[in-house]
């Protein structure tokens, strides 16, 4: 028997994934969202039964009312900034790739990841490109997305070929986009005494056990500072948003920022390269709370450099990431 190649053109689909957000800045909505988030063993690696008791009877009752107020402080007429910009990215990519089926799913909350996968399955895709919108790989983010997709496919009779974009920490288009937004901030507000690259933290134990997230963050920073020609004394890399009592990656963003004025740093700018869109951790934690820490400690000028969001260069990057995979599949 002579085997002949199939003439059927494979249908390619894309699954964009971001973290997610509560549906509303209310205690009930935040509790629903945080319960799903904090039950993920990739996020909190604790013994299941004991952790659930702590979560439902201590953490959620105490944390959710405060968290709802924090979310309310960043909420807009268009809703959650994370959701608004994620939908914008989705829409702009669909314009750039009109012949490719692209769906958006959130790892926690809505639109649920499983519904996005089902839409791609109903569309009959033969190959699925999975793009988590986390530039630097971590077991707590990118791997969690992979786990969730794999669990969903475990219940399906027909599954497509899967291409997983692990991360894009050093992709030239990503470095170009970050460098351009930093240059723009320098032009608009002047070159600061110090530029901080603040990344979301993870427990130190995750890195000790093999998560290469710190190395991926450092790779991004080194590529950007090389392109910008920054002197080592004018930039730092820190970690924010720690949770619980475990040892987390250091140095901590908030502690670093509160100490800088005493070391002569009066003009500070902060960028958060690990966030593909602005959200609670950038707008409330960095732009508001950490600015207060800096000014209270004697700083004079604090500027938060926005996430790439729906910036044209960001959409160019996401487009390039997908086209590179599509060409490879062809």
SS3 assignment, position 198: strand
Which residues are CB-contacts of 239 (< 8 A; sequence separation ≥ 6)? 198, 199, 200, 201, 202, 248, 249, 250, 251, 252, 253
Burial level of 186, CB count in 10 A (0-12/13-18/19+)?
Answer: middle
In the block, tokens 């209310």 appear at 26
Residue 281 known to bind ligand: yes
Structure tokens at 307: 């996430």
CA distance to 36, 47, 162, 182, per residue, from 143 (Å): 16, 19, 14, 29
Tell me the CB-side half-sphere exposure of residue 65, using CA atoms within 13 A. Answer: 3
b/e per residue 106-124 (b: at least 16 CB within 10 A): bbbbebbbeebbebbbeee
Residue 200 known to bind ligand: yes
* H/E run at residue 304: strand 301-305
* Spatial separation of the C-alpha atoms in residues 311 and 317, rounded to whole Å: 10
To the nearest 10°, report the CA torsion of 136, 139, 141, 146: 110
To the nearest 10°, report the CA torsion of 143, 146, 150, 152: 110
Known binding residues are: 200, 281
Known binding residues for Fe(2+) are: 200, 281
């Amino acid at each position: 028997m002579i085997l002949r190649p199939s003439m059927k053109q494979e249908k390619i689909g894309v699954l964009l994934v971001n973290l997610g957000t509560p549906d509303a800045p209310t205690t009930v909505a935040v509790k629903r969202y945080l319960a799903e988030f904090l039950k993920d063993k990739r996020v909190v690696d604790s013994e299941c039964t004991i952790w659930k008791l702590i979560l439902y009877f201590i953490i959620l009752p105490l944390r959710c009312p405060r968290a709802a107020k924090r979310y309310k402080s960043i909420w807009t007429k268009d809703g959650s900034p994370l959701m608004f910009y994620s939908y914008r990215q989705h829409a702009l990519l669909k314009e750039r790739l009109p012949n490719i089926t692209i769906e958006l799913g959130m790892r926690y909350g809505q639109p649920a990841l499983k519904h996005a996968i089902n839409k791609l399955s109903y569309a009959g895709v033969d190959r699925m490109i999975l793009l988590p919108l986390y530039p630097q790989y971590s077991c707590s983010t990118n791997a969690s997305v992979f786990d969730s997709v794999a669990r969903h496919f475990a219940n399906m009779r027909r599954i497509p070929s899967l291409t997983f974009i692990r991360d894009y920490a050093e992709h030239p288009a990503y470095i170009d986009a970050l460098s351009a937004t930093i240059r723009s901030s320098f032009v608009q507000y002047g070159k600061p005494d110090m530029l901080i690259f603040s990344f979301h933290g993870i427990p130190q134990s995750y890195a000790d056990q093999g998560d290469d997230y710190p190395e991926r963050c450092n790779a991004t920073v080194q590529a950007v500072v090389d392109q910008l020609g920054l002197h080592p004394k004018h930039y730092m890399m820190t970690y924010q948003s720690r949770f619980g009592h475990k040892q987390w990656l250091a140095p901590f963003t908030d502690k670093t920022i509160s100490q800088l004025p005493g070391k002569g740093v009066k003009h500070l700018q902060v960028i958060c390269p690990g966030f593909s869109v602005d959200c609670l951790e950038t707008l409330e934690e960095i732009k508001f709370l950490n600015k207060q820490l800096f000014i209270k400690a004697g700083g004079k000028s604090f500027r938060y450099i926005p996430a790439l969001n729906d910036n044209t260069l960001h959409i160019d990057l996401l487009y390039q990431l997908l086209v590179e995979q599509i060409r490879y599949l062809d």
